Structure 1
Amino acid sequence: MQYLEELLPASDDHEIPVKVWRPREPNSVLVISHGMAEHASRYAPLAEWLTERDVAVVAVEHRGHSDHCDDKDLGHYADSDGWNMVVTDLDDVVSYAKSLEPGRPVTLFGHSMGSFIAQSYAQRFGDRLDALVLSATNRINKPQLRVSKWMVDAIKAVRGPRHVSDLIEGMTFGAFNKQFKPNRTSHDWLSRDPVQVDEYLEDAYCGFGCTTQLWSDFIGGMMTIDPTRWRKDLPVHVMSGTDDPVGEMGKGIAKHIEAIRAAGVTVGSTRLFEGGRHELVNEINASEVWEHLLSCIARPA
């Protein structure tokens, strides 16, 4: 296996950090779009396992995330046009992956925040993908999102675009964790595996607060997602845990799958892992999850 770290030039003066795991003879490529307040290196165990099965892995570090980011910019996409920037960055990464492994099928895997970025990407650039895998995602509830964006934008107007709001954190991550009382930690909602939760809490580049501007960009970006505008023959695989609060404990996921099917888009597979929380690839049954993910990856005909 070969491991690489690259900095790709973006459309502005930003450099996009990517991490690459390459087997000797790859037959397919998986691009990973990570979640909010985490980073690509957390996927190294999965990536190494996939390389043993001839899958090359390319993981992007989204803007405002990882140790490549200046401390002042942690949790902040950009001062303006942030959603478009992270989606366009992802296109640069997919293009890089295709050039690195020419002719190999490319699957995009998006987790949580990264799943919504991946959906926006597929909506704009779906012809560049061979499959899309969405993990720990949720339905696009536009009435609820409008209310959330109004609240975020009101806080931003008063406190500024780089303010990190305890209220927003409490209404999102805090509310998720309350569903697992009595709580051992502030992030029990991530996984049933205490080792994984503790490693997340000890990681300086996990669990940080995000700015009002990022939240506004994120919610605004989610509101633009519309499966009716996706490529109809792009296989979409949806996976979640029955105990993931982001997916409304499976209820929101079911509605999103219905919306994808109603739009005429190809649903390759759906899988709800019983008892699974938010980070399926870091769950107590991670080996089962990894095997399922492997089955979703597009392979040569």
Structure 2
Amino acid sequence: MDGIKIHGYVISPDPGVQVKGIVQIAHGMAETSERYERFAAFLAGLGYHVYIHDHRGHGKTAENLDNVGYLADKDGFMWLVKDMHHLTVIIRKKYPSLPLFLLGHSMGSFASQRYAMEYGKELSGLILMGSNGNQGIMLKAGRLIAAREAGKTGRRTKSEKMNNLLFGGFNKLFSPNRTDFDWLSRDEEEVDKYIKDPYCGTVFTSGFYHDFIIGLMVIEKKKNRKKVPKDLPVLIISGDRDPVGRCGKGVKNLYQIYKKTGVNDITLKLYPEARHELLNELNREQVTDDIASWIKDHTK
């Protein structure tokens, strides 16, 4: 790898609980792995080892707030995907035969889409949460703006322009707004926790946005879409008020993309009125039960 030390943790079933499999989680942008502790404990109670790490440029891996939002000097998005696979390699050395499921949320879901193209044969199932399908010309425009920003101010400079371009319109769906992050969840307590965490909700660097958008463009290429194993089970879940997935339209597009490329076991579930962070939503118990049921059905 490139020398970055990645911080992660594992939550395992209690002694005496039958181990059924492993769930690896890829968290979203501008958050941390610690926000998944409740969900991880739930899965561990059902008999699953849960592995999750802070992505580069996030949480404890970033080491300090100055480094939050910067992935790498080059190819940051692909390094993020490689980090995920490196964790898989570590898991497989310890548990070579247990079923392994990858769950990606938001930015982590896009990284998981890319992961499935390169390493999908190593998975028993893929869960994409808070994701989106093809965005086409919007990405080309965003890449040009991000490249201009990086060239003008440097890759490590926080980019308010790109932040506003990508996320500025999300909260408008929920006006009048209580906070800048109402689009995350209807649960005000969970939104307030996010806002109070200094490692959450920060403006990221122009280098991040440039690499991330290029990563999305790579994902959208048909030749890469076809690399996803046809026998890889895929679960797509989203709130039908999630602006990241265009309130259901984008995730329906993603579902159709997988269908057209020949993936033969794919499920889409939209939750009425739910917003972006399903695991922190008012209906999170229903969501966690649905995920657990799907994993159980695909655990061989």
TM surpasses 0.5: yes
**Which one of the candidate residues 197, 200, 203 is aligned to 1:203?**
197
Distance in 2, matches of 1:169 and 1:271, equals: 29
- Deviation, 1:101, is 2.8
- The answer to whether the Cα contact below 8 Å between 1:83 and 1:218 also exists between their aligned partners in 2 is yes
Two-structure CA RMSD over aligned residues (Å): 1.2
In the alignment, which residue of structure 2 is the partner of 1:7?
none
Q: What's 1:31 paired with? A: 24
Checking the alignment, whether the CA contact within 8 Å between 2:124 and 2:299 is kept in structure 1 is no
Q: Which residue of 2 aligns with 1:236?
A: 234
Name the structure 1 match of 2:295: 297
Structure 2 gaps of 5+ residues are: none
Query: Which segment drifts farther, 94-103 or 202-211?
Result: 94-103
In terms of fraction of residues, the more strand-rich structure is 1
Q: What percentage of aligned pairs have identical amino acids?
A: 36
Instruction: Within 5 Å, give how 1:111-260 maps onto structure 2.
Output: 111-225=105-219, 226-260=224-258
TM-score after normalising by structure 2: 0.94
CA contact (8 A) 1:133 1:296 kept: no
Distance 1:173 1:141, change over 3 A: closer
CA distance in 1, matches of 2:145, 2:2: 30
Asked whether the 8 Å contact 1:235–1:267 carries over to 2, the reply is: yes
**1:95 aligns to what?**
89
Residue 209 of structure 1, CA deviation: 1.1
Deviations 1:35-55 (A, max 9, x none): 000011100000111111111
Post-superposition offset of 1:140: 2.1
**TM-score (structure 1 length as normaliser):** 0.94
Amino acid at match of 1:40: S
Q: How does 1:53-64 map to 2 (within 5 A)?
A: 53-64=46-57
**Is it true that 1:40 corresponds to 2:33 in the alignment?**
yes
Evaluate the alpha carbon distance shift between residue 267 and residue 176 of structure 1 in structure 2; reply closer, same or farther with a 3 A threshold. Answer: farther
Total equivalences in the alignment: 291
Moved more, 164-173 or 56-65: 164-173
Which of 56, 60, 64 aligns to 1:67? It is: 60
Report the 3-state secondary structure (helix = DSSP H, G, I; strand = E; otherwise coil) of the residue aligned with 2:83: helix
CA apart distance, 1:85: 1.1
Larger helix percent: 2
